Every structure is written in C-alpha cells, then in structure tokens.
C-alpha cells in the first residue's frame, strides 16, 4: 500500500503547564487518513494534554511552554487560528454533560454549523441527516442537560460529525458511560472508521476496543505518579455483626416513582454492589440509606441487642462538592474535636495519600480526590459502614486497586460497604450484587451467581460485553 500523507503529525511535541507538576513528555506520532488509533497510558502520563495538543487547544487556550510541532492537515497548530483547526478536526470530551452548551438538542448541532458559516438550507439538511444518523430525532427539542450520559455523548459526537471534520479526537469518551452506552459509542466509531474517517481515541478502558479490527495501539509511558505501597495490617477493631433490614422502601421524586417496595436484608462484613442503568434509582437508594432522602418504608440495623437506625457514611460521586480546605490533612481533620491521630496516619497511608498530606486538595488527581473524599468520611467513623456512589468513575486501575483493598479491610472488620457502579470489573469483585431495573429488584445474590443470570441482565437492559464474558463467565451461552 502506498504511504498516505498523514492527517496528523506530532514531532517531538511536549508541553509544560505554568505550574509545577503535570505535563507531557516529548512524543512523536503520525496518523494516516482512515486510521483508528487507540492511545493508552496510566493516569497522569499526559493523555489529555496530548489530545489537546493535537486538536490545537494547546497552545490556543492554554498558557504554558510548548515545544516541538503539531501538523493537522497541512496547518501547523501554533500558526493557524483555532477555528481553522476546528474545521479539520473535531473533539469529544470526557464529561458528556459539561460539553453541552445550547438550550436544545437541535441548537447544540446548529451551533457548530453556524460557526462554519453555512447557509440556512445547508444547515437544515445537515441537521436532519445527523439527527437521523444518531437516532436523536425524537429528542430534538429536549434540553441536552436532561439527557442521559450516553445520549449526551452521542449528541456531542453528532454535533462534531455534522461539521464533517477529517479527523476526530476523543478524550476518554467512555469513562463516564455505562457498559451499554459505551458499547453503542464504539459501534458509531467503528462505522466512521469504516467510512474512512481518521479517529484517535484516548482511553484507559481499552478492553472495549479489543475487538475492533484494524486498531492501532499507541501506549504512552510518561512519568506516571508512583503509587505507594499500601499497608496491609488492618488496625480496624472487629465489630459485632449486624443486619441492615430494608423494608418496603419507596421514593418519589417530583411525582415520579423512583423506588417502590424494595426489600433487602444485608449482612455486615460484605462488599455489596448495586448495578443498573441510569435512572433506576441506584443513587437514590444510597441517599435513602444515608438519611439524605425522604422515603416511605423503613431501614434499620438489627443486632443481637436490638434495633437502631443505620449510621452509614456517604461518599459522593463528585469529590469537588466537598473539598475546600488548604491541605489534605486539614480537609480530613476539619472540625474534629479530638482526632485519633494513629488512625488518621493509617488512613492516609492506606488511601495512598501520604505523599500529599500538605498538598491542596484541588491539585490532586481525580482518583486521589475520590480517595480523599472516602478518607474524610471514614475519619468520622460511621458506626455501620460506608456508601459509595460511583467510586471508580473515570479512574484508572491503580486507583481501583487501592480502593478495593481499603473496602475489603472495612468489610473484614465487620462493616457494611455498599457502592453503585457502572464498572463491571469493579462490580465483579464484590461479595454480593444487587441488580436494579426500572421495575425494581431484578436479582440479588452472590456476585458470581447473579452474573450467570442472563435473563436478569437482559431485563436490566445491560448487554454484558464480550471482553467481560470472556474473563468472568465460566459457562452459559455468552
């Protein structure tokens, strides 16, 4: 095959942000038209920075020191205007909700077409085509902020593809999506690749792309932050066992029934995972157990000595909601009258936060922030355990390992650990799996046996992907 002129060419490109810390070590790469490229690398290696260099957002929107050069379709990114580069390449970002900028689905697509300077007739025809292609026609008048994450990511892709760029750069497009939505998005990407578009996907959930034919894989090394060895000794005092009894739990939000007649009997000393598609009430269940949500029915802790209301700490999905202190240490110890400093030191080490005790929380990586949010809940020693909402969303394996290790120690000490997740790999490490569907409880039992229950997964609307079945299912049709 004759060598094609590359669409994208990076020549020893590196970048340093004005503040110390992250950046990108020199990288060279060439991407030919029609290629589907996957770029992987550990968190902190500069994937996101490289994506922005290729798109030209660096140096146009960022201060810092750029060396080397990037050529995008004949333009050197540092010389061309941002809008010229945006006509050649499009970019889809990690957080589906944060890139929505118009009042309706239609306007979201029109925005990019107006910027191309197209006449109204052309805009109309491209709009209709793209709405149809991406199965968005029935949503056209909806406010993008009310769509699910999967629909939003599809819309983001549609808004870019309507502009008909030659190359498409995707910065961790799957990390906030559930399994089914991630599978859908991959199907679209494969279609574009088949049509001869150039695609570059920066993603650490590479297992989703394993089956894509003709995939080129680039692994970035960079200087990943070294994760400290986690202490193995478990100083948590063993707790007497209890059961959390949930009876007829029901929640209505704005007239809509989110949960109804939910009955669960949960033993302490276990890691429980709640799985289900968006909107089935996973987070609402956690909020109810944490006492943050008004509900009907009851939830109580039963021990040999009697009953009491549950005291469970809640760890929220977005750590930025809580962090406001000057250092990790201040954040964890905020307003604690007589903190147990021995416990504090163990906690910080076990969460892999020891090197950052004096670091301002906002400068931590997302994974570190998530562990800090867990730490400040654990420091308050909730009597019965913790509830975690999507603790691994958008995180890499190093974070998940520390997290699971910590949760296992809590469970071993007799606490109840309950989390929601879209991440099937994480879910498969739990002791018990609760599968929720729109109509309520679909399956509840030991993780391995629920994973075998094909009809329950079908009812939940979750297609277990092939890579997952290969790893986790022994028998069955797969």
Partner 1 sequence: MRVGQTGRSHRVSLVDASPLRKADPRAKLFISLAVSLVVMMPLERLAIFLGLYIFFLWWARLLIPSAQQIWRLKWLLIVLFAFDWWLISLEHALLICTRLALLTGVFALFFSTTTTRELGLALERLRVPYRYAFSLSLAFQSLGLLEDEWRAIREAQLSRGVEPRIFSFRQLVSQVGDLISLAVPAIVLTTKRAWAITEAAYARGFDSPHRTSYRTLSFSRFDFVLMAGAVILIALLYWRFA
Partner 2 sequence: MKPRSFSTFHLILLALFSALVIVAKIALRTPLQLPGHSGIFWMAIIVIGAKVVHKPGAASIIGITSGLLAGFLGLGDFGALNTFLSYAMVGVASDLLLWLLGGDTEILIVAILVGIFGHMGKFLTKWVFGVITGAPLGFVALGLLRSIIGYIVFGAVGGLLGWLTLKALRRAGFFAYLAEKR
Smallest CA-to-CA distance from 220 within 199, 203, 243, 196 is with: 203
**360 is in the binding site of which of partner 2, partner 1, none (Cβ under 5 to 8 A by kind)?**
partner 2
Pair 234, 210: CB distance under 8 Å: no
Q: Does 335 bind partner 1 (CB under 8 A)?
A: yes
Q: Sort 356 into a burial class: Cβ within 10 Å, 0-12 / 13-18 / 19+.
A: buried
How many C-beta neighbours within 10 Å does residue 24 have?
27
Structural contact between residues 224 and 24, judged by C-beta atoms closer than 8 angstroms: no
Rg (CA), the chain: 24
Partner touching 322 among partner 2, partner 1, none, CB below 5 to 8 Å by kind: partner 1
Two tokens at 14? 């590196």
**DSSP code of 337?**
S
Q: Is 309 exposed, middle or buried (0-12, 13-18, 19+ CB in 10 A)?
A: exposed
Establish if 64 lies at the interface with partner 2 (CB under 8 A). Answer: yes
Distance CA(102)–CA(76), nearest Å, equals 30
User: How many residues comprise the chain?
Assistant: 478
- Using CB under 8 A, which of 285, 328, 347, 376 touches partner 1? 376
Q: How far is the CB of 84 from partner 1 (least distance, A)?
A: 9
Contact of residue 99 among partner 1, partner 2, none (CB under 5-8 Å per partner type): partner 1
Residue 341 binding partner 1, by CB under 8 A: no
Closest to partner 2 by CB, 62 or 188: 62
Which residues lie closer than 8 Å to 408 by C-beta, 6 or more apart?
271
Give the Cβ contact number of residue 362 at 10 Å.
10
**Of 41, 276, 310, 313, the one binding partner 1 by CB under 8 A:** 313
User: Which residue's CB is nearer to partner 2, number 331 or number 389?
Assistant: 331
450 near 430, Cβ under 8 Å?
no
Cis peptide before 7 (omega within 30 of 0): no
CA distance 289 to 418: 10
Give the one entry of partner 1, partner 2, none that residue 354 binds, where binding means its C-beta sits below a cut-off of 5 to 8 angstroms depending on kind: none
* Residue 247 lies near partner 1 (rule: CB under 8 A): no
How far, in Å, CA of 241 to CA of 329, rounded?
A: 32
Q: Which of 155, 12, 31, 154 is nearest to 89 (CA)?
A: 31
Judged by CB under 8 A, the residue of 138, 145, 213, 240 near partner 1 is: 145
Residue 335 sits in the site that holds partner 2 (CB under 8 A):
no
* Residue 450 contact, options partner 1, partner 2, none, Cβ 5-8 Å cut-off depending on partner type: none
Q: Residue 174 or 332: which CB sits closer to partner 2?
A: 332
- Of 122 and 412, nearer to partner 1 (C-beta) is 122
Q: Are strands 312-315 and 385-389 parallel, antiparallel or unpaired?
A: parallel
Answer yes or no whether residue 329 interacts with partner 2 by CB under 8 A. Answer: no
Choose the contact partner of 290 out of partner 2, partner 1, none; CB within 5 to 8 A by kind. Answer: partner 1
What is the total count of residues that contact partner 2 (CB under 8 A)?
17
Strand 296-303 versus strand 306-308 pairing type? antiparallel
159 binds partner 1 (CB under 8 A): yes
- Which of 7, 54, 86, 259 forms a contact with partner 1 (CB under 8 A)? 86
- Give the x-and-dash track for 355-374 against partner 2 (CB under 8 A): ----xxxxx-----------
- DSSP code for 388: E
Quote the least distance from Cβ 52 to partner 2, whole Å. Answer: 11
Residue ranges with strand state E in 287-398: 296-303, 306-308, 312-315, 385-389
219 binds, among partner 2, partner 1, none (CB under 5 to 8 A by kind): none
Should residue 46 be labelled a site residue for partner 1 when binding is judged by CB under 8 A? no
Closer CB to partner 1, 67 or 81, in the complex: 81
Least distance (Å) from partner 2 to the CB of residue 325? 7
**Contact criterion met (CB below 8 Å) for 395 and 401:** no
- Spatial distance between the Cα atoms of 85 and 78, rounded to a whole number of angstroms: 10
State which of residues 6, 11, 17, 453 lies at the interface with partner 2 (CB under 8 A): 17
Single out the residue of 270, 255, 56 nearest to residue 167, CA to CA.
56
Q: Which stretch binds partner 2 (CB under 8 A): 27-35, 104-112, 199-207, 319-327?
A: 319-327
**Which CB, 52 or 204, lies closer to partner 2?**
52
- What is the binding site for partner 1 (CB under 8 A)? 55, 57, 60-61, 81-83, 86-87, 90-91, 93, 95, 98-103, 107, 110-120, 123, 143, 145, 156, 159-160, 163, 290, 292, 313-314, 316, 318, 320-324, 334-335, 362, 376-377, 380
- What is the binding site for partner 2 (CB under 8 A)? 17-19, 60-64, 323-326, 359-363
């Amino acid at each position: 095959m004759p060598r094609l002129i590359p669409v994208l060419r990076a020549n020893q490109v590196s970048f340093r942000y004005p503040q110390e810390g992250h950046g990108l070590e020199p990288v060279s790469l060439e991407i030919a038209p029609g290629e589907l490229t996957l770029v992987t690398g550990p968190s902190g290696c500069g994937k996101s920075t490289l994506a922005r260099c290729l798109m030209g957002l660096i140096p146009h929107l960022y201060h810092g020191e750029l060396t080397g050069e990037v050529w995008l379709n004949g333009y050197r990114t540092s010389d061309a205007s941002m809008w010229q580069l945006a006509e050649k390449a499009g970019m889809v970002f990690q957080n589906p909700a944060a890139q929505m900028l118009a009042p309706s689905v239609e306007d979201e697509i029109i925005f990019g077409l107006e910027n191309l300077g197209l006449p109204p007739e052309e805009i109309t025809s491209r709009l209709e085509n793209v709405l149809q292609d991406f199965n968005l026609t029935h949503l056209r008048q909806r406010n993008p902020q009310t769509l699910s994450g999967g629909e939003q990511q599809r819309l983001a892709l549609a808004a870019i593809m309507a502009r008909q760029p030659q190359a498409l750069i995707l910065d961790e497009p799957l990390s906030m999506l559930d399994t089914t939505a991630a599978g859908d998005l991959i199907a679209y990407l494969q279609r574009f690749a088949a049509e001869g578009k150039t695609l570059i996907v920066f993603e650490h959930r590479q297992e989703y792309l394993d089956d894509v034919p003709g995939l080129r894989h680039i692994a970035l090394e960079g200087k990943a932050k070294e994760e400290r060895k986690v202490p193995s000794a478990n100083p948590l005092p063993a707790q007497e066992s209890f059961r959390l009894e949930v009876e007829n739990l029901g929640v209505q939000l704005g007239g809509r029934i989110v949960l109804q007649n939910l009955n669960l009997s949960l033993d302490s000393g276990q890691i429980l995972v709640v799985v289900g598609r968006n909107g089935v009430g996973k987070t609402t269940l956690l909020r109810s157990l944490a006492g943050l949500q008004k509900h009907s029915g009851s939830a109580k802790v039963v021990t040999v000595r009697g009953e009491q209301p549950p005291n469970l700490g809640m760890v929220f999905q977005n750590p930025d909601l809580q962090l406001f202190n000057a250092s990790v240490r201040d954040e964890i110890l905020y307003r604690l009258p007589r903190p147990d400093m021995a416990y504090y030191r163990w906690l910080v080490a076990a969460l892999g936060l020891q090197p950052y005790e004096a670091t301002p929380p906002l400068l931590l990586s997302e994974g570190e922030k998530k562990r800090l949010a867990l730490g400040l809940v654990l420091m308050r020693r909730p009597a019965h355990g913790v509830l975690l909402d999507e603790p691994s969303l958008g995180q890499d394996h190093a974070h998940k390992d520390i997290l699971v290790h910590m949760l296992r120690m809590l469970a071993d000490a007799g606490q109840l650990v309950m989390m929601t997740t879209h991440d099937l790999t994480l879910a498969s490490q739990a002791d018990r799996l609760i599968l929720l569907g729109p109509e309520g409880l679909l399956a509840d039992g030991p993780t391995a046996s629920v994973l075998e229950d094909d009809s329950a997964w079908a009812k939940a609307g979750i297609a277990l992907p092939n890579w997952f079945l290969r790893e986790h299912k022994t028998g069955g049709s797969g």
